[in-house]
Amino acid sequence: MSAPDPAAGLLPPQATYRQLVATISNRVQRRKPGRAWLIAFALASLMTLMLAGCIALLFVRGIGILGNNTGVVWGFPIANYVWWIGIGNAGTFISAALLLTRQPWRAAINRFAEVMTIFAVSIAGIFPILHLGRPGYAYWLTPYPNSMDLWPQWRSALVWDFASIVAYLVFSLIFFFLGLIPDMATLRDRARTRAGQVIYGLLALGWRGSARHWQLHDRLYRTLAALALPLVVSVHSVAAMDFAASLMPGWQETIFPPYFVIGALFSGFGMVVVLAALIRQGLGLQAVITHRHFAVMGKIILAGSLGMALSYGTEWFSAWTSGDPAEREHLRFLFTGDYAPLYLAMLGCNLLVPQLLWSGRARRSIAAVVAVAVVLNIGMWLERILIIWNTLSHTHLPAMRGVFVPTLWDWLILAGSLGFFAFLMLVFARILPAAAMHDLGRLLHQREQSR
Amino acid sequence: MPPVSGPSLGRRQAALGLLASALTLTSCGEPAEEIIPYVEAPEGQVPGLPRRFATTLALNGYGRGVLATCFEGRPVKLEGNALHPASLGGTDAFTEAAILSLYDPDRSRTVRQEGRPASFEAFLSALKPRLAALEARGGAGLHLLTGHVTSPTLRRLIGRLRARFPAAQWHAEEPVDERNALAGAEAAFGQRLRARPRLESARVVLTLDADPLGPGPEQVAHARAFAARRQARRGREAPFLRLYAAEPLLTNTGAKADHRLALRPWEVRDLAIALAARLGAAVAEPDLPPAARRFLDALAADLQAHPGEAVALAGPWAPPELHALVHWINVRLGAPVDYLPAPEPALPLAPLAEALRDGSLDTLLILGANPAYDAPADLGFGEALGKSRALTIHLGPWRDETAMLCRWHLPERHPLEDWADHLAPDGTASIAQPLITPLHGGHSAATVLGLLGGRDGLDAHAALRETWMEAWGEAAFEPLWRQALHDGVVAGSAAVPVLPPAPALPDLPPAPLPPGLALLLRPDPMLWDGRFANNPWLQECPKPLTRQVWGNALLLAPAEARARALRDGDLVRLRLGGRELTAPVMLQPGMAEGVAALHLGGGRQRAGAIGDGIGANAYALRQDAARWMLPGLELEASGEQAELLRPQEAHKLEGESTRLLPTLSLEEFAARAAMPPAEQPQPASLFPAVGGQAGAAWAMVIDTTLCIGCNACVLACRAENNVPVVGPEEVAARRDMHWLRIDTYHLGESEQDPRPGFQPVPCMHCETAPCEPVCPVAASVHDAEGLNVQVYNRCIGTRFCQGNCPYKVRRFNFHGYADGQEYANQGDPLVAAQRNPEVTVRGRGVMEKCTYCTQRISAARRAAAREGREIADGEVQTACQSACPAQAISFGDLKKPGSAVSALRREPQHYALLEELNTRPRTTYLAQARNANPALEDEA
């Protein structure tokens, strides 16, 4: 057969199943954690503790320790929430959309991308609670039966937001676990300790690798993948509704849902690139996470950047053509107001810097793609905070205009959430296979078939 | 040092203490006092129903009638007394805030000798031998210092004291006094006469560095009279007053003026001289700058065209010769001015400082005054008082700067705890009655004066009855007394105006131009002369025009500041007459160049936990001879910056944004009024229609023409609705907590002529309220009568409602401002006693906002239901409405065709704020009507 090699540039040329499985699972089962891991883990644990301390302080002293004020009632927690949920968008998308479109390069990265989704969405889910004045009553957003006959107020986007986060998180967990089952069986079979055999054995749910198992698994997995795509779109569309379903200039825009979804994929892919580089280096997976992965993801980032440019352009154009003085005033404020330097920096990060990736040489350089990804994630965070600041700082009545000044706690909680994310990823790297072994095996199988 | 005799207990401690004493009482036999429930309840007392009593509060000695609302013997809210001529039902900021000072935890609670707690008996035994010795000398060496006293009783007691001690000397000192005005009258008429303009009869008013609509004892009455002449209403023929202002510093009056000119004080004087010359005075018309000349041309013609209806005014800070000149002008114009004889003056402060220093003073009694803080610096009063070896006695409700320097300090009862009488500015007497048992004991001025007059144990009540018994005779006394107590005013006691003699033209030597900058001192719009510095409501209330809270600043014209390379917030050192003071700079549009202004009342050292160290102490530069204008000010930038706390700055409106606060000329108004009211079709909305068939549709209309920006409504709202104090740090974090704010916009073209407009902004109670659909837990909902209500115990604090409110009228409890995280001492249980029991005190993390005083609507609804009738129009008065001295706020039921609000909504200048958003607000506005002089308009 002369079909092109689907695994070209994705697997080592002479790889065998045994080598593949060993490359990935030895990290979990055979080798002690290295010095770098230990240092990173200690740092991440410290930051996690700091986050816990900040949250405790927030609960004791109240939301007033943050920089939110009478005009700018939303601040860092909401921006962090939107940013994290955006990052959480990419994992399931990579897994599901690339599976359905039969992209072979998905195999090495889908596992940690899914894990990233679960962690990011979980962290994102904390923020709306942290930002509440009375976080103890967050459960009032759920339609639970109660003696007061009170239900959530269904017209509010926040209720649907809450529902969509929970649905997305639950779904992502199921999808992730389903993809994990064959690898759990592999780990069970390779385990040398009784505890390993029992724990991985339980998680493997009795997987024996029979053809019927594989056939059922594949069917369910693809069905769930098809279900996942609408959720990927809905979760960030509904987050966009928090802003769009309002009366404020700069928020009340029909473009917001698609614009948020594109932004989410954009920043999510950025985060996947960063994590891929770290895992590749840290776990020595140069063999399976290759230059081709980065080149492909570079193209997607470039496409995302163009999508963002289109969104910004549409936003400006419709503000201009609407003739609404409030919208025009908002547009003027974006470019000349108190936050104009940040806004221009955001445009630079999200629109200008990714244009580097037009160059093939840049796409093939892992360092360049990672640098672009880091920059665009900073840009995306700026975008999230500026959506809030620009609208709330410059409202209809001039008398109530004023800026937001972040406090130390705002920054510490943001940093703490990054530390907590790192902590979770580091734990993941030690207890679960960082790449889907069975998917890589399938890729190897396809290569052998095509030879 | 913490107070020794009256330790302030925490809630928990107090509860434990109570429990302990209850146990003691039940276990150890009979209680000391028999405690029984009402067997015969006091007449009219129903538990849970408030009662209202008339009483009087004084500012600068002048009484202003109030009605106090009391719940089970606990006063919680003060409102104006419609029968009292200085209130007419309205209040000012000081009156509204007085209720909080009653419950101030910093009030003095015990007699002190040399700072140590002592007993009143010990004081008596120290005083008695002194008095005996003094009596033997005829009272030589006895000095009495008071503020301005109008009280007939205190004057009678002082008279007795002087009869007993003929050589005793009585000094009276007010930092904001009338000495210039009286000296001016003396120069013009040869008599001490107080001039009271009748603005309600005026058509053209010229203020020469005067601020009749600004803070002061007569603000409410002036605002009411001014409003009566500024009613732009369809079909109303009454003349519309035109106001001209020439002033160095932007005032509330200047803000409302149809034409205002920023002039330096000496230019104001020149303008007045030139005006007098135009009116036929034998004076040379001085050279005026072109703008002032043009102003004068138009003004003089206008004044002369309205004989008998035109009046000129000069402020308390204007020099005597300007007052004399204004008297001459007014008599020439046949101006509507009443002249009232002023009582014999007491001695000023300077001889007292001298007596302290030269040792001739033997005994000094200070009643209520605080010269150690507010005496002009060049008198060195505090130092002299501290060094004096005499017996110095201070009676005052706070242990202030003066109390700290006196040998004896006696705690005085709060005016709401004591009997007193006062005269209103028009001479009407009124009686103040106590509303509560004195919280910390304390003594009355009448008691102490009685002691000195030889009447031991005289209480204020007895003293008062004696005074009025003398006036009315024994037979007629009881019914008159009861009537006076009930009404809060002694009927028919107003002074009779006298006809002044022909005025003399004062000597007007050409004044030399003062060198350098001239420093102008002015009373603080919120703190007055500093006496209210420990009142956090006043400290936190944005001062009109500067919008500053928690501090004062040196005001400079923007051009002046730029010339000196100074910016907002730059700390500068002020040097004047060898004294120095540091204050931040604030650029104030509308100020004249060549002057700088500083408000009195900052920099208190011994005000209490709230007022200590807030702002700069302007008295440190004040001179006895130059109390209001001090030339030769030198400024030196310190290179440091201070934060100016301004919750909402004044903003300039231009172009499109002027629709937020539109201004109509009278001609435009008349043209619109001639057309039938146009019913504008309402744009469609996806919201369900609000309000059923039954019930009212509450609405509010605010007339921006009448609003003088005095802040009475802001503080009334705060008092009524338990709005907590947040403190300067939270204000700096932009979290101020007023339910009602006064947005101030500059509508003028230039910095010299900012033409500020005031727009009070409470909740709009939108029919299609944007806050409601965004709340995830339905804490923001509509009630059947169209009120947008906030359900505090359902609110979880997402703040989406405020994010989506185009008017940003909602306020969030970022901390437990009234719930365990209070500012300074405001968590004291004593402060909690001020809370209105009909309004929830909000906890941390919930949103709150204006409720249209829903508790008052509810009370009216219950009363109407009980009596089987409908709620009458005007029966529900919101707190802001009833406070407003200008009656700019109307409230009522839209569904009643004849109601005041529905009539106002048909006025031609009626508009809704941000109408284009289709929020359909229930709070709407009447645009500003401006009565410009065509002769001054064309150029601009």
User: What pLDDT, in 10s, does the model give residues B64-103?
Assistant: 999 999 998 899 999 999 999 999 999 999 999 999 999 9
**Bridge partners of A194?**
none
What spatial distance separates the first Cα and last Cα of chain B, rounded to whole Å?
61
pLDDT of residue B16: 61
CB contact under 8 A, A134 and B845: yes
Confidence of residue B510 (pLDDT cuts 50, 70, 90): confident
Asked whether the predicted pLDDT for residue B36 surpasses 70, the reply is no
B41 pLDDT above the threshold of 80: no
B25/A314: higher pLDDT: A314
Q: How far is B226 from chain A (nearest CA, A)?
A: 27
Structure tokens that stand for A255 in this block: 């473009």
Cα–Cα distance, B137 to B140 (Å, whole number)? 6
Look up residue A237 and give its DSSP letter: H
Higher pLDDT, B29 or A199: A199
pLDDT: is B41 or A108 the higher one? A108
Say how many C-beta atoms besides its own lie within 10 A of residue B294's C-beta.
15
Q: Note whether B537 and B720 are within 8 A (CB).
A: no
Query: Between chains, do B814 and A138 touch, taking CB under 8 Å as contact?
Result: no
Q: Is B436 helix (H, G, I), strand (E, B) or coil?
A: coil
**B651 to chain A, closest Cα gap in Å:** 6
What's the whole-number mean pLDDT along residues A248-277?
Answer: 93
Taking the Cβ of residue B806 and every Cβ of chain A, the question of whether any pair is shorter than 8 Å is answered with: yes
Structure letter (DSSP) for residue B322: H
What structural domains and CATH numbers belong to chain B? 179-230+239-341 (3.40.228.10), 517-641 (2.40.40.20), 697-930 (3.30.70.20)
* B92 contacts B431 by C-beta, under 8 angstroms: no
pLDDT at A30: 81
Q: Which residues of chain B lie closer than 8 angstroms to A158, CB-CB?
A: 774, 776, 798, 800
Please determine, for residue B795, whether its predicted confidence score (pLDDT) is greater than 80.
yes
CB–CB of B709/B742 below 8 Å? yes
Mapping DSSP to helix (H, G, I), strand (E, B) and coil, where does residue A344 land?
helix
Cβ of A153 within 8 Å of Cβ of B773? The answer is: yes
Mean pLDDT of chain B: 92
Mind listing the pLDDT tens digit for each residue in B535-549? 999 999 999 999 999
Alpha carbon A435 to its chain's center = 17
Residue A402 pLDDT greater than 70, yes or no = yes
> How many other C-beta atoms can be found within 10 angstroms of the C-beta atom of residue B42?
9
What are A340-345's contacts with CB under 8 Å, separation 24+? Answer: A342/A382, A342/A385, A342/A386, A343/A382, A343/A386, A343/A390, A345/A379, A345/A382
In a domain, A7, yes or no: no
CB pair distance less than 8 Å for B815 and A68: no
Q: Give B-chain residues touching A155 at CB under 8 angstroms.
A: 773-774
pLDDT of B940 over the 70 cut = no
Instruction: Measure the CA–CA gap between A330 and A335, rounded to whole angstroms.
Output: 9
Q: Which of B663, B672, B587, B597 is nearest to B629 (CA)?
A: B597
Residues 811-830 of B with CB under 8 A from A: 811-816, 821
- Asked if residue A237 is part of any domain, the answer here is yes
How many Å lie between the alpha carbon of B810 and the closest alpha carbon of chain A?
8
Q: What is the mean pLDDT of residues B574-602?
A: 95
User: Has residue B693 got a pLDDT over 70?
Assistant: no
Least Cα separation, residue B805 to chain A (angstroms): 8
Residue type present at position B345: P
**B743 close contact with A: CB closer than 8 A:** yes
pLDDT(B232) > 90: yes
| Concatenated DSSP letters of B226-246 | HHHT----TT--S---EEEEE
Dihedral in degrees, nearest 10, Cα atoms B121, B126, B127, B132 = 120
The pLDDT of residue B30: 53
pLDDT of residue B5 exceeding 50, the answer is no
Please report, for residues A142, B23, B253, B574, the alpha-carbon distance to residue B557 in angstroms, rounded to integers and kept in the order given: 57, 67, 18, 16
In a domain? residue A99: yes
| CA nearest to B412, candidates B865, B832, B58 | B58
pLDDT confidence bin for A450, thresholds 50/70/90: confident
**Number of continuous H segments (helices) and E segments (strands) in chain A:** 15, 0
Determine the distance in angstroms separating the CA of A62 from the nearest CA of chain B, rounded to an integer: 6
For residue A344, being part of any structural domain is answered with yes
- Under DSSP, the state recorded for B338 is E
CB-based contact (8 Å) between B808 and chain A? yes
Of B777, B806, B821, the CB nearest to A62: B821
Task: Considering only the beta carbons, identify the residue of A67, A70, A73 that sits closest to B736.
Answer: A70
**Which of B657, B774, B796 is the closest to A398 by Cβ?**
B657
Amino acid A432: pLDDT? 93
What is the residue range of A279's domain? Answer: 17-139+151-450
A134 CB neighbours in chain B (<8 A) are 795-797, 843-846
**In angstroms, how far is the first alpha carbon of chain A from the final one?**
6
Per-residue model confidence (pLDDT) at position B21: 57
Selecting from B660, B808, B814 the residue whose C-beta is nearest the C-beta of A63 gives B814
Top-confidence residue, A50 or B688: A50
Residues in chain A closer than 8 A to B730 (CB atoms): 64
Residue B937: pLDDT band with limits 50, 70, 90? confident
What Å distances lie between residue B911 and A48, A424, B70, B820, B902, CA to CA? 55, 58, 38, 42, 13
Q: Is the pLDDT of residue A323 over 90?
A: no
The CATH code of the domain that includes A354 is 1.20.1630.10
SS3 B327: helix
The closest CB to that of B776, out of A153, A247, A397, belongs to: A153
More confident of the two residues B814 and B650: B814
**d(CA B649, nearest CA chain A) in Å:** 7
In this prediction, residue A2 has a pLDDT band, given cuts at 50, 70 and 90, of very low
Burial of B940 per CB tally in 10 Å (0-12, 13-18, 19+)? exposed
Q: Tell me which of B648 and A114 has the higher pLDDT.
A: A114
Distance from C-alpha of B325 to C-alpha of B312, rounded to nearest angstrom: 10
Nearest to A140 among B744, B796, B844 (CB): B796
Closest CB to B808: pick one of A68, A134, A395.
Answer: A395
CB of B550 within 8 Å of a chain A CB? The answer is no
pLDDT of residue A117: 94
Number of domains composing chain A: 1
- Domain membership of residue A182 (yes or no) is yes
Q: Which member of A62, A140, A150 has the closest CB to residue B815?
A: A62
Residues making up chain B, counted from first to last = 940
- Distance (Å, rounded) from C-alpha B566 to C-alpha B569? 8
Selection from A59, A47, A76, A127 nearest residue A410 by Cα:
A76
Residues 6 or more apart whose CB falls under 8 angstroms from that of B396 comprise B108, B366, B367, B368, B370, B402, B403, B409, B410, B411, B412
Query: Tell me, what amino acid is at B69?
Result: T
Mutate one of B796, B809, B919 to test the A interface: name it (highest A CB count within 10 A): B796
- The 10s digit of each residue's pLDDT in B830-874 is 999 999 999 999 999 999 999 999 999 999 999 999 999 999 999
Cα–Cα distance, B410 to A14 (Å, whole number): 100
pLDDT at position B27 over 60: no
* A12 or A266: which leads in pLDDT: A266
User: For residue B660, what is the nearest residue in chain A, using CA coordinates?
Assistant: A397
Chain B hits for A247, CB-CB cut-off 8 Å, are 770, 804, 806, 917, 919
In a domain, A12, yes or no: no
CB nearest to A158's CB, from B657, B800, B917: B800
- In this prediction, residue B4 carries a pLDDT of 42
Looking at chain B, the whole-number percentage of residues with pLDDT higher than 70 is 95
pLDDT surpassing 60 at residue B776: yes
Instruction: Give me the sign of the Cα torsion angle A383, A386, A388, A391.
Output: negative
Chain B residues inside the 8 Å CB shell of A149: none
Q: Do B773 and A156 touch (CB under 8 A)?
A: yes
The DSSP annotation for B19-76 comes to HHHHHHHHHSSS-SS-----SSPPTT--TTS-EEEEEEEEETTEEEEEEEEEETTEEE
Q: Give the distance between the most distant pair of CA atoms in chain B.
A: 90
Q: Which of B661, B736, B740, B799 to mutate to test the interface with A (most CBs of A within 10 A)?
A: B799
Determine the Cα–Cα distance for residues B250 and B408; give it in Å rounded to an integer: 42
Q: What is the pLDDT of residue A14?
A: 81
Asked whether residue A38 is assigned to any structural domain, the reply reads yes
Residue B939 is predicted with a pLDDT of 52
Alpha carbon of residue B411 to chain centroid: 24
Q: What confidence score (pLDDT) does residue A108 get?
A: 85
- The answer to whether B804 contacts A392, with C-beta atoms less than 8 Å apart, is no
In the predicted structure, residue B256 carries a pLDDT above the cut 90: yes
Residue B154, CB-side half-sphere exposure with 13 Å CA sphere: 24
ipTM over 0.90: yes
On the question of pLDDT at B3 being above 50, the answer is no
Residue B447 CB partners (closer than 8 Å, separation 6+): B457, B458, B459, B460, B463
pTM of the predicted model as reported, rounded to 2 decimal places: 0.93
At residue A243, what are phi and psi to the nearest 5 degrees?
Answer: -95, -45
Decide if B804 and A248 are in contact by the 8 Å CB cutoff. yes
pLDDT bucket at B315, cuts 50 / 70 / 90 = very high
* Contact residues on chain B for A394, CB-CB shorter than 8 A: none
Are A278 and A373 a contacting pair, CB within 8 Å?
Answer: no
Q: What is the 3-state secondary structure (H, E, C) of A252-284?
A: CCCCHHHHHHHHHHHHHHHHHHHHHHHHHHHCC
Answer whether residue A46 is part of any domain: yes
CB pair distance less than 8 Å for B808 and A71: yes
pLDDT at B19: 58
Min distance A268 CA to chain B CA atoms (Å): 26
Q: Is the pLDDT of residue B245 over 90?
A: yes
Buried b (16+ CB within 10 A) or exposed e, B439-448: bbebbbbbbb
Residues B387-421: tens digit of each pLDDT? 999 999 999 999 999 999 999 999 999 999 999 99
| Record: contact B796-A138, CB cut-off 8 A | yes
- At residue B694, the pLDDT reads 72
Of A93-102, A176-185, B306-315, the least confident? A93-102
Interface A-B, measured as beta-carbon pairs within 8 A, has a size of 160
- Would the CB atoms of B821 and A140 count as touching at under 8 Å? no
Are the Cβ atoms of B660 and A61 closer than 8 angstroms? no
